[in-house]
Amino acid sequence: MGKIALLVPREEMVYQAHNILQEKDYQDRQFEFTCMRVVRTKHVVMEARQAIADGASIIIARGLQASMIKQYTDIPVIEIVITAQEMALLVLKAKQILKKEHPVIAVVGFANMFCDMSYFDRIYDIEIRTFYAPDNDSLRLFAIQAVEEKVDLIIGGEVAVETATSEGVPSLFLSTTEDSLRNAFSMAKSIGFAIDVEKKKAAQMETLLDYSFSGVVNVDGYGKITAVNPLMADMLGISGKKLTGNGLAEVFPDLDRGQVDRILSKGGDGYSTFLQINGISVFAILAPVELEGRAEGAILTCHKIQKKLTAEQESQQKRHSRGLIALGQFSDLFQESESMQSCIHLAKLYALSDLPVLIEGEAGTEKRLMAQSIHNAGLRNRGPFADASLSGLTDEEQFVLLFGEKGAAVQADGGTLLLEDGDSLSQSNQYRLLQLIRYRIRTGRELQQNKHLDVRVMITVEQEAVLWKAARKGLFRWDLYYLLHGLNLRIPPLRERREDLRRRLELSVRESCERYNRYHVLTHGGMDFLLNYPWPGNIFQIENFCERLILTAKKRSLDEWAVKRVMDELFACENEAGAAAQELGNPALLDSGNKAEAREWADEREKCLRQALKKYPSSRQKAAQELGISKATLWRWMKRYGLDETKD
């Protein structure tokens, strides 16, 4: 138990303390006093600090002295309070002295010295008047005030008794029995045990954190760091003392601010994500610390997932010098919109895996940048990143590009292989890709040419449904489809990310202006016009449009008419085809360029719909499952093509 110091104003209180300590209840070795001394009020703070320096963790004091110690030190102070029994003895003694019915008795001293005397008037047939002084210097003034109010007797300390005697008023010295000290000792013992429990818990937690294999950060309810363990400080490369007091969001900028605010304000479910800390891949979990259903702070744990490289993998790093480097990071992606934040959160989790990733996105979306970001955030970030576009290549050309002796798969060994336009992969090369993903084998033209490769595969397509459709037609292997269909990631087009679209437009206009040393500003009308355009070509289309807009601008302010003029010049045909695509319920065809392709897609969908309804004439649910859509979507398709509804 913690050590105790007793600092009191009178010698008799020290004697009482020694008597109490002889009792059986206080023979515990853990109940230890560093000192018991009589102190003057003007020296009490100095004496208290000396007691603390000597090892005291609890101080017992009385009245003004206790108040001063509380104010100028930061350890628990137990106040000696006169008990109701002790006060009752003084009142009865006063009545014996006065021998008067309903006498007026004044109590002069400091408020924290006395018990509750609310019912003394009725119990003892007296009138109690209290004169509580705020400090030692005003104690005599309060005693004089009691005299002036014509009280019959004054109960108080030395100053009050001396004042009463000089004024000819009867008085009683505020003497105490051992009860008040005994109460103070019992409270000190309880608090001491509580302090010991907290110290033990703190020591256990400190040991746990020091030897933890995870980095740990403790955060208060305001998002400020209160403690970090050595491993976390080592990860960050900053000492724990320098980290303490900083905001969590400042030290870990990749954490989702909205999730952090939610946990600190409301608690509830924790938040997990993937972070890069000084090149170290970590899986981070932010969990609320809740007390009685209220969030009181949070704990962030960061688990290292970076594997130690083998000698072979170390040698593979040399390939970076040949340009097989992924430059993209998640921070390079516009992510102010909620839909893109969700997409990136999922991508960070996928970075923890080694399975293939299927990235879906329209033309001009950040598919390649997303793949690079996943690679750089994953376990293979020190390995090579090779990419190959498959569109327009023959079967033989694809084989040479991907699986030849110097193909992309060989170049990506130990790292990541990105296949763009994955739906263009020929069937023979689909088999080779299956072997590469499933069995880590590069299949050559001859069986003896098989070679083991350690490659993670990512594939981009404009629509995941394209692979499903190709598989239904027998143009894409079902086993490869299901092998790829797991870690799916859809990058929302910019028209679904209004906040990101605005930033992309502003950036493209500014970059074009800087490139040609010109100054133009989009008006509110011009910006609104651009925000309401669907941008089927996404970033590519926006960059080229803004370049044309700035080069041909005739005035500084670019309003909706200036924007519409360039839009009509560039995209008249696309706008016509886009209207047809919207009519057919497939906005993804906005970049198709003509009505004929949009109509062909619609005809194919109607054919599949009729086949599914014919196969399951009495179950709309099964028909929807056959098509891979929801019942609501099935109903909309049936309505659009004028087909009779079926019943479940």
Provide the CATH number for the domain around residue 231: 3.30.450.20
Please indicate, yes or no, if residue 581 is contained in any of the structural domains.
yes
Same domain, 474 and 512: no
Q: Domain boundary at 490, 509, 525, which?
A: 490
Same domain, 363 and 475: yes
Same domain, 585 and 533: yes
Provide the CATH number for the domain around residue 558: 1.10.8.60
Provide the CATH number for the domain around residue 105: 3.40.50.10660
User: What pLDDT is recorded for position 466?
Assistant: 87
Same domain, 440 and 483: yes
Same domain, 532 and 550: yes
CB 364 within 8 A of CB 391: no
Same domain, 443 and 338: yes
Q: What CA–CA distance (Å, rounded) separates 406 from 450?
A: 14
User: What pLDDT is recorded for position 112?
Assistant: 87
Classify strands 280-291 and 294-304 as parallel, antiparallel or unpaired. antiparallel
User: What pLDDT is recorded for position 607?
Assistant: 82
Same domain, 328 and 285: no
CB 104 within 8 A of CB 126: yes
Same domain, 340 and 478: yes
Q: Domain boundary at 451, 473, 490, which?
A: 490
Q: What are phi and psi of 227, to 5 degrees?
A: -165, 150
Please indicate, yes or no, if residue 199 is contained in any of the structural domains.
no
Please indicate, yes or no, if residue 403 is contained in any of the structural domains.
yes
Per-residue burial over 385-415, b if 16 or more Cβ lie within 10 Å, else e, is: bbbbebeebeeeebbebbbbeebbbbbbbbb
In the three-class reduction of DSSP (H, G, I as helix; E, B as strand; rest coil), residue 468 is classed as: helix
**Quick one: tokens of 212?**
């933890």
Which residues are CB-contacts of 480 (< 8 A; sequence separation ≥ 6)? 430, 431, 433, 434, 437
Same domain, 226 and 354: no
Same domain, 469 and 527: no
**Quick one: tokens of 67?**
């108040």
**HEC readout, 532-563:** CCCCCCHHHHHHHHHHHHHHCCCCCEECHHHH
What domain range includes position 324? 311-490
Q: Which residues of the chain have pLDDT under 70?
A: 1-2, 27-31, 201-202, 204-212, 305-323, 446-449, 572-602, 628, 630, 632, 644-648
Please indicate, yes or no, if residue 231 is contained in any of the structural domains.
yes
Q: What is the per-residue pLDDT across 479-521, written as a single tens digit (0 to 9) for each?
A: 999 999 989 999 999 999 999 999 999 999 999 998 888 889 9
User: What pLDDT is recorded for position 206?
Assistant: 66
In the three-class reduction of DSSP (H, G, I as helix; E, B as strand; rest coil), residue 86 is classed as: helix
Q: Is 187 exposed, middle or buried (0-12, 13-18, 19+ CB in 10 A)?
A: middle
User: What pLDDT is recorded for position 592?
Assistant: 42
Per-residue burial over 117-156, b if 16 or more Cβ lie within 10 Å, else e, is: beebeeebebebeebebeebeebeebbbbbbeeebbbbbb
Q: What CA–CA distance (Å, rounded) separates 36 from 297?
A: 41
Please indicate, yes or no, if residue 12 is contained in any of the structural domains.
yes
CB 370 within 8 A of CB 350: no
CB 477 within 8 A of CB 434: yes
> Which helix (DSSP H) or strand (DSSP E) does residue 419 occupy?
strand 416-420
Any idea which residue has 């005299």 for tokens?
A: 147
DSSP string, 223-284: SBEEEE-HHHHHHHTS-HHHHTTSBHHHH-TTS-HHHHHHHHHH--S-EEEEEEETTEEEEE
Same domain, 50 and 151: no
Provide the CATH number for the domain around residue 31: 3.40.50.2300
CB 545 within 8 A of CB 562: no
Q: What CA–CA distance (Å, rounded) separates 224 from 355?
A: 37
pTM above 0.95, yes or no: no
DSSP 125: T
Provide the CATH number for the domain around residue 486: 3.40.50.300
Please indicate, yes or no, if residue 648 is contained in any of the structural domains.
no
User: What pLDDT is recorded for position 283?
Assistant: 81
DSSP string, 360-396: E--TTSSHHHHHHHHHHHSTTTTS-EEEEE-TT--HH
CB 57 within 8 A of CB 195: yes
Please indicate, yes or no, if residue 201 is contained in any of the structural domains.
no
Please indicate, yes or no, if residue 200 is contained in any of the structural domains.
no
Counted domains in the chain: 6
Closest C-alpha to 279, from 235, 244, 323:
235
Q: Domain boundary at 33, 63, 79, which?
A: 79
Same domain, 529 and 402: no
